[in-house]
Amino acid sequence: MSEAFAFLNDIVDYGPQILSGLINTLILAGTISVTGLLAGILIFRLTLSDNEIIRKSTARYISFFIGTPLIVLLFLMYYGLPQWGINFSPFTIAVIGFTLNIAAYNSRYLSAAYNGIDQHQLMAASAQGFSSRQIFTLIILPQTLRRAIPGLTNQVALNIKDSSIAFLIQYVDFFAQMQEQASLNFQYLKVYAVTGAVYLLLVSLVIFASKRLETRYAIPH
């Protein structure tokens, strides 16, 4: 009993740091979710390009980022760039690395959704005289985004979880603070269990929001 109390006490004592860590986690996960979505849309747009060279290089980009671990990219920037005198903050590096990586996945979700939409509409739109740019923003994008909601929100949940690797490039997030806490009180099992529970809660919120979005923006058929 007193042991549990001491554990709680530790956490409360360390509360401000843990809270700032949690905020850092949310800032990073939130930022990369937005930038990853925007970059994903851009990459998806490029996969539809009329130019074969653009299409091919986009496919390579996607394949490369899906095939290589993100942590390698983060280390490359964190340990490699200073060699050339470039020093970015851990946050900047994390945002760049995650964005490049997430964009590849999001563009895949969008492509899958695009393959499911009725191609006749696109023909109808060009027959009506819309430019390909207009067709993309007015017809393709709204439909693929809606259809891709499950994949895209799943990616947000992944972003929250994956943001925890940023501590490896010294970004002081929630996980980093909890490790600090564990190394102080040696209660590894309890501290990591609490850490896991917090991530699970955050991910659950995203899943809940995703279900709401899905029903709200369902395309009637």
Partner 1 sequence: MTFLEIVSILARGAGFTILVTLACILTGFFSGLLAALLFRLDIRPLNWLLHAFTYTFRGIPLLVILFLVFFGLPSIGLPIPPLVAMMLSLGLICGAYLSEVFRGALEAVDPNELMAAQSMGMRRIQILTAIEIPQMLRFSAPGMLNEFTTVLKYSPFAYTVGVPEILKEATSLALTTLRGMEIYLAVGVLYFLIYKIMMEMFLWVERRYAIPGFKQI
Query: Helix 174-185 crosses helix 15-47 at what angle (to 10 degrees)?
Result: 150
Residue choice 12, 19, 124, 200 for contact with partner 1 (CB under 8 A): 200
Q: Which of residues 47-76 bind partner 1 (CB under 8 A)?
A: 64, 66-73, 75-76
Instruction: Identify the CA nearest to 140 among candidates 164, 160, 113.
Output: 113
CB-CB contact of 135 with 43 (8 Å): no
Piece of 43-51, 128-136, 141-149, 174-182 that binds partner 1 (CB under 8 A):
174-182
Q: Residue 141 or residue 194: which is nearer to partner 1 going by CB?
A: 194
Q: Residue 48 or residue 203: which is nearer to partner 1 going by CB?
A: 203
Q: Residue 147 or residue 190: which is nearer to partner 1 going by CB?
A: 190
**Would you count residue 111 as binding partner 1 (CB under 8 A)?**
no
* Residues sharing a CB contact under 8 Å with residue 55, sequence separation 6 or more, in sequence order: 46, 47, 49
The residue assigned the tokens 């949310």 is 26
Residue choice 144, 164, 177, 210 for contact with partner 1 (CB under 8 A): 164
**Would you count residue 91 as binding partner 1 (CB under 8 A)?**
no
| Other Cβ atoms closer than 10 A to 37 | 21
CB-CB contact of 213 with 153 (8 Å): yes
Instruction: Identify the CA nearest to 44 among candidates 58, 33, 34.
Output: 58
Q: Where along the sequence are the contacts to partner 1 (CB under 8 A)?
A: 64, 66-73, 75-76, 78-84, 157, 161-162, 164-165, 168, 175, 179, 182, 186-190, 192-193, 195-196, 199-200, 203-204
